[in-house]
Structure 1
């Protein structure tokens, strides 16, 4: 398999496993023409919005696990699609970057009691970011403190379910 396709598939599985653990369903648009790979859904909900949802663009990068905020280069089309101000969207959008080791054999290693998936995922809401003067890509800074985990996924959905912006 092409290494980029391999990363794409792994990131999708990684994020879907977190959604399942959080109790959310995930859907996938039949065509990714709006920089949306997955939509996360909560049935019912605990907030003011019934059945909240949000969209995510997934990316995967082979690099060491960061210890501080880190840069990520995003295609300009994805950047522009994700930076639309939240007030102009029916559904909020975030970027999720899954980081993996260089060697695909190290991404998931079976152990008797668990299946660790390496390294981790981080998220960023680009809504309202400025127009880029670049022609092909825009670098964004992913906050180290915004790990994409079961707990953060639950927190994002709670914010969205109460009418807020993630």
Structure 2
């Protein structure tokens, strides 16, 4: 819903062989690029204790993290973690007039997640709470990438 509200669209990946689940694309023109896009690795959890005062923590396995943070990626990549209520029955409220999802998704550029040493099986990464995935921030991501940044 956020992607559509921002005037963007999703390209679906059938598998996440490259460590990502979807590509989000735009047809807007920016300073450097027309039609910016980025790849997104999606995670979902109901573990409320992962949410801290200024960030959410997420434990990433080494292999998918290495793929996600690979500096040779042609398309910028991000990690998104959706935090939903513990009670699965309260995630979604739907009627003819509205569709409400309780929870929020936090994101970070893969390049900012840091390296993972060889031999280490996983790494805890931090996604700032200020990076709430909403229309304004999605358009900001597109602007950053479209202006030549975001890597």
Indicate whether 1:47 and 2:23 are aligned.
Answer: no
Aligned to 2:116: 131
Q: Distance in 2 between matches of 1:144 and 1:134?
A: 30
Q: TM-score, normalised by structure 1?
A: 0.80
Say yes or no: does 1:98 pair with 2:82.
Answer: yes
Question: Which of 128, 138, 150 lines up with 1:153 in the alignment?
Answer: 138
Q: Which runs of 5+ in 2 are unaligned?
A: none
CA spacing shift, 1:115–1:52, aligned 2, 3 Å: same
Q: Normalising by structure 2, what TM-score?
A: 0.88
Which structure has the highest strand share of the two? Answer: 2
2: CA distance, partners of 1:131 / 1:66: 22
Count of residues in Structure 1 that have an aligned counterpart in Structure 2: 148
Distance in 2, Cα, partners of 1:41 & 1:142: 22
Structure 1 unaligned segments of length 5 or more: list them.
Answer: 1-16
In the alignment, is the contact (CA less than 8 A) between 2:116 and 2:123 conserved in 1?
no
Kindly report structure 1 stretches of 4+ aligned residues shifted beyond 6 Å: none
1:44: Cα distance to partner?
4.0
Distance 1:66 1:112 in 2: 35
